[in-house]
Amino acid sequence: MKDSETRARQILQKRDEYNEIQTVKRRKAARISVIAAVLAIAVTLPTVLVIAGRARKAPPVPEINGTESDSLTDAEVNGPEGEVTYNDGVIGGTGVGPLYDGTGIASADVDRSGYGVKEIAPSAASPEGVADAPDAVEYWKNDLDAKAGTLTAGEWKDLDALGQWYEKLASATWSRYVNERKISPAKIVTVTVKAGDAPCFNTEVKLISGDKTVFTAKTDVNGRAYLPCGLTGEDQAEAAVVGDNVVALDGKTEIEVQAQEAGISVTALDLMLMIDTTGSMGDELEYIKAELSDLVSRIHEAGENLSVRVSVNFYRDEGDDYVVKYYDFRSDISECLGQIAGEFAMGGGDYPEAVHTALENAVTGHRWRNDAVKLCFFVLDAPPHKEQEVQEVNASIASSLTEAAKQGIRIIPVASSGVDLETEIILRSFAVVTGGTYVFITNDSGIGAGHKEAEVGDHVVETLNECMIRISCEYCGVYHGEKIPYTQTRNDQQQ
């Protein structure tokens, strides 16, 4: 305990020192920017007034479905004059319930007070637990008095330990589920793309076999693309293609490719939350909502130089009041926090849920920006339906995962209480195929029903909110420090 607390303090001190340096730099840059802006306005104001007098209001932006949205820019999403149009909606379901007005669409006039946040109250800053910290965050308080920094979690990235992943897939306990679902790749080719010594972000990489494309993925902030073989039928690959550069694999599963031009820099983050809100999530949903609200709020602070948009989505199952309730990406974080606060757990019934419909909507039903880091935290406690329950469900999931990898959307499952071995394998496969990582809530906090002990190697138990914030920052290349070990003492301080 003492060693963990000492280590946590060391990490936090290091982070504080870094953040203090960055704050000084930002303030200096801001002063320079203000002076430059004033001078620019003085010079250009007459011209701007003339142009503004001639300008006409831009027409509304047409709805653009998933795969086409891969090339969207901010101007195309919001309109050339900044006019924002949102593609919100509901998929399936009865359209009947306490949050509906009878039309099948969630009503803005319904009183949500019984299901959401009662108040927003200042609390100890996470993770330092210092009540008077200048950057103290506000926690969403609800009927259960749930606060961020309460739930505990671990992270395991199979892509960093592929040898163990392959061993698991071949084991007797895993192979049954692997063969049944057909979405767990037994071979991953890792391609690192650089321009000189600099990693290239968001560069398209293809694996080919003859004239066929085996798989397509995009590089992360470290220039790495992970490409599975066998998911789309082809289990062999001969070469990797980056632009006009074709590099033979020669049997290797790790290669480096030089790009013909430098990659783009990370300037934007599209952060999606896809949350299971069936009745089985009721034991910890209010706490998860507090953690997610904290994530949404603090990721803006951690990435001040990033253009951040958030999309909040919920799903249940066939026969419930909705199957998927989705909201377009928004820059207005207060709207996103309200959407999280207004949901509650209800419905479900049987164990499996409409995971395949939620996954398809996440990938193809939203307007992701092409040049952004794309992260989807998929929060759930149950598997998708099986083939005998929903025809072609495995093919649907494989297709969605393939499209996610092609667009560079990283699926990051957050496994809640109730997850069994089959669900763990499925969720870890989601992460492996799309270049994501696996997050699992643990029993250390004592909240919710029992959580399955994940079949992973050595890992650090953190608070869930810190885990998700750290992961988001890492995918964006933003410094957030090392993993901070959870201790009951620190948790008691936050309570």
DSSP class of residue 92 equals: S
Per-residue burial over 179-217, b if 16 or more Cβ lie within 10 Å, else e, is: eebebbbebbbbbbbbeeeebbbbbbbbbbeeeeebbbb
Amino acid 431: pLDDT: 98
Given a cut of 60, whether residue 113 has pLDDT beyond it is: no
* The predicted structure's pLDDT at residue 418: 86
Cis peptide before 127 (omega within 30 of 0): yes
Question: pLDDT at residue 169 above 90?
Answer: yes
Asked whether residue 165 carries a pLDDT value surpassing 70, the answer given is: yes
pLDDT of residue 104: 46
pLDDT tens-digit map of 438-447: 999 999 999 8
Predicted pLDDT of residue 18: 52
| Mean pLDDT, residues 461-488 | 90
For residues 403 and 67, is the Cβ–Cβ distance under 8 A? yes
Rounded to the nearest 5°, which phi and psi values hold at 246? -115, 120
Q: How many whole angstroms separate alpha carbon 138 and alpha carbon 125? A: 8
pTM for this structure? Answer: 0.78
What is the percent of the chain where pLDDT is above 90? Answer: 54
CB-hemisphere CA count at 13 Å for 264?
14
Query: Is the confidence at residue 155, as pLDDT, over 80?
Result: yes
Cα separation, 90 vs 475, in Å, equals 30
Residues listed for the chain: 495
The enclosing H or E element of 215 equals strand 212-218
Count of Cβ atoms closer than 10 Å to residue 106 Cβ: 23
pLDDT of residue 77: 54
Instruction: Round to whole Å and give the CA distance between 253 and 189.
Output: 4
Is the distance from CB of 462 to CB of 437 less than 8 angstroms? Answer: no
pLDDT tens, position by position, 276-314: 999 889 888 889 999 999 999 888 776 667 899 999 999
Contacts within 8 Å (CB) and 24+ apart, 173-177: 173/421, 174/421, 174/425, 177/421, 177/422, 177/425, 177/426
Q: How far is CA 229 from CA 62, 380, 393, 398, 403, in A?
A: 37, 27, 20, 12, 15
Evaluate if residue 395 carries a pLDDT over 90: yes
In the predicted structure, residue 450 carries a pLDDT above the cut 90: no
Domains along the chain? 89-156+267-494 (3.40.50.410)
Distance CA 311, CA 373 (A): 14
CA–CA separation, 462 and 457 (whole Å): 15
In this structure, the strands spanning 212-218 and 254-258 are: unpaired
Q: Which residue has the tokens 């003859």?
A: 210
Higher-confidence residue of 3 and 318: namely: 318
Position 464: which residue type? L
| Residue carrying the six token digits 């007098």 | 53
> Among candidates 387, 374, 158, 417, which has minimal Cα distance to 271?
374
Q: Check: CB of residue 58 under 8 Å from CB of residue 83.
A: yes
Residue 382 is encoded by which pair of tokens? 């149950």
Q: Which of 309, 304, 331 is nearest to 479 (CA)?
A: 304
Task: Render pLDDT for 354-391 as a digit per residue (tens, 0 to 9).
Answer: 999 999 999 999 999 999 999 999 999 999 999 999 99
Selected residue with higher pLDDT from 11 and 207: 207
Q: What is the 3-state secondary structure (H, E, C) of 224-274?
A: EEEEECCCCCCCCCCEEEECCEEEECCCCCEEEEECCCCCECCCEEEEEEE
d(CA 250, CA 255): 10
**What are the pLDDT digits (tens) for 223-236?**
999 999 988 766 78
Q: Which helix (H) or strand (E) holds 214?
A: strand 212-218
Going by C-beta distance under 8 Å and a sequence separation of 6 or more, which residues neighbour residue 325? 89, 90, 91, 106, 313, 314, 315
Per-residue pLDDT of 13-70, as tens digits, reads 655 565 555 445 444 444 433 333 333 333 333 332 222 222 222 223 233 233 334 4
How far is Cα 373 from Cα 293, in angstroms, rounded to an integer? 20
CA 359 to chain centre: 12
